[in-house]
A and B are shown apart, each in its own frame.
Chain A
């Protein structure tokens, strides 16, 4: 088991199988909050489902309404378990912060170093604790 310190954008604890996206994703127009499916048909992970996953992506993209889509996904129970980024993304952090206020639950959103980021693989079980310690096989 490897363990690393991540930078916390929105705190919390979570565990789930990793889903690694090779490209940035705009949740607005890119994620269906009713199902958790990636619906951006130009995205390589189009058709994959993010619900309950430790979603690993370089960063968000596009419209600031992505925070609304993340909040709606939390409400509908289709949100990722955690979001792990290579770069700071304020829009996703905001969605999680508002979800914590509204529904008392939200995926932790963290940023990891490139060296750690590159070790993450789809299917690995990833765990994040309140202090931002991230562990995986």
Chain B
């Protein structure tokens, strides 16, 4: 494998033990990926700050003690503890302590403590075409698809190795030719109303994730007005039900201004029509519980944006949560500060809505209910809730979630998934 002079200096240990170990891991992984060299990256996003066991903390401590400092702007994904509200953590005292130390260890390496899975809705975002090393499946798919930045699917350990060295294996989605669309999903006769409903997007994403394998999907038929929050929901669901790291939406996402751009002037390998019936079938698979009693309403995976809170506030004013229902929304600190400024946080607290930052309810014990049903508008929560926290899931639109939370039973807006009159 071809090493740059600076790579060689790091590998020799001249920039410290941490950089040496990081580069050694990167070269080992380059052989696994079949990458002939490393390339420079301009930013990193780290998922390794979520506690999975003591070994992850030992790894971070070893890096820090070896002089680790990130050399590119680096943000942190969620940890296991809401550091602004540590009392929300319901795991063991020991795990809580180690989980907090893990988060702080990454901060000490120079990572920005934003602790969010939506770093792309934070202050800085990578520019179109830039090489980055991002971890966390929804962040990866958003960065590649919506921003047009270039990252492979990085995860624990290799993410921080890239941030410390500023290098990543030159392979896969870092290279333009590997970003060509392969599968064409054609929306066929989807009702106009549904195309503009937020609830369409996680369902469509889930369907695409299930059917795409490791291929790059292209969607034809989304309105040019599709919002970033809708694309965020689509990508997160596709990365939960499948391994999607990049999708294109013709006329919407930046590498797909035209059909020819999306497929880099080649033909799709397969054309897959998506009908209303397909979407309704997927809708039925998103949750694991039938419509009935609701114990928990959880929103904010990926983390809620300010625009999403702006939709939530009037609904909550009209349909405040039932006292027996736990209602939580996960977001990032920047958005929390905005909520405070606008007086919305006070209103949320008055309605007994728990606002969580730095973490989310499916990666750490926060929800009080040990069993029962969790309702959500997040494809990702709906997917992971039964396995990770033992709560069966029901999926619905934001309005369905709020109104269900108000009555403690699932409320449905049947018009959304119907054919136009």
A residues with a Cβ closer than 8 A to B are: 9-10, 28-29, 33, 63-65, 67-69, 71-72, 74-76, 88, 90-91, 93-95, 97-98, 101-102
Contacts and interface: CB of A to CB of B under 8 A. Distances in A.
A97 B169 CA distance: 15
Contacts of A10: 28, 32
A28 B59 CA distance: 18
A29 B137 CA distance: 16
B293 interface: no
B397 to A, nearest CB: 27
B21 A65 contact: no
A65 B387 contact: no
A10 B29 CA distance: 9
Contacts of A9: 32
Given A9-B32, A101-B24, A67 B157 contact: yes
A21 B259 CA distance: 42
B380 to A, nearest CB: 12
Nearest to A42: B387
B155 A91 contact: yes
A72 B54 contact: yes
Contacts of B211: none
A72 B137 CA distance: 21
A65 B50 contact: yes
Contacts of B155: 63-65, 67, 91, 94
B47 A94 contact: no
Contact of B156 (A29, A64, A101): A64
B124 interface: no
B387 A93 contact: no
A72 B156 CA distance: 12
Contact of A65 (B25, B33, B156): B156
Going nearest first, the 6 A-B pairs with the smallest beta carbon separation are A64-B155, A72-B53, A68-B52, A75-B55, A71-B55, A93-B32
A90 B47 contact: no
Given A29-B387, A65-B50, A94-B158, A74 B55 contact: yes
Given A64-B153, A64-B156, A102-B62, A97 B29 contact: yes
Contacts of A68: 48, 52-53, 55-56, 156-157
A77 to B, nearest CB: 12
Interface in B45-83: 47-48, 50, 52-56, 58-59, 62
Given A64-B153, A65-B47, A67-B155, A90 B28 contact: no
B52 A65 contact: yes
B204 interface: no
A79 to B, nearest CB: 11
Nearest to B54: A75
B154 interface: yes
Interface string B131-171: 00001010000000000000001111110000000000000
A134 to B, nearest CB: 18
A52 to B, nearest CB: 18
A35 to B, nearest CB: 13
Nearest to A9: B32
Q: Mostly helix, strand, loop or mixed at chain B's interface? A: helix
A102 B59 contact: yes
A64 B137 contact: yes
A71 B62 CA distance: 14
Interface string B15-38: 000000100110011001100000
13 contacts: A9-B32, A29-B387, A64-B47, A65-B50, A68-B53, A72-B54, A72-B55, A88-B32, A90-B32, A94-B158, A101-B21, A101-B24, A102-B62
Contacts of A76: 53
B388 interface: yes
A100 to B, nearest CB: 9
B56 A72 contact: yes
B29 A93 contact: yes
A88 B31 CA distance: 11
Contacts of B62: 102
Contacts of B21: 101
B156 A67 contact: yes
Nearest to B154: A64
Given A64-B137, A64-B155, A65-B47, A94 B52 contact: no
A65 B56 CA distance: 11
A50 B33 CA distance: 26
Nearest to A88: B32
Contacts of B158: 94
Contact of A97 (B25, B48, B135): B25
B28 A64 contact: no
B56 A71 contact: yes
A67 B135 CA distance: 13
Contacts of A74: 55
A88 B186 CA distance: 32
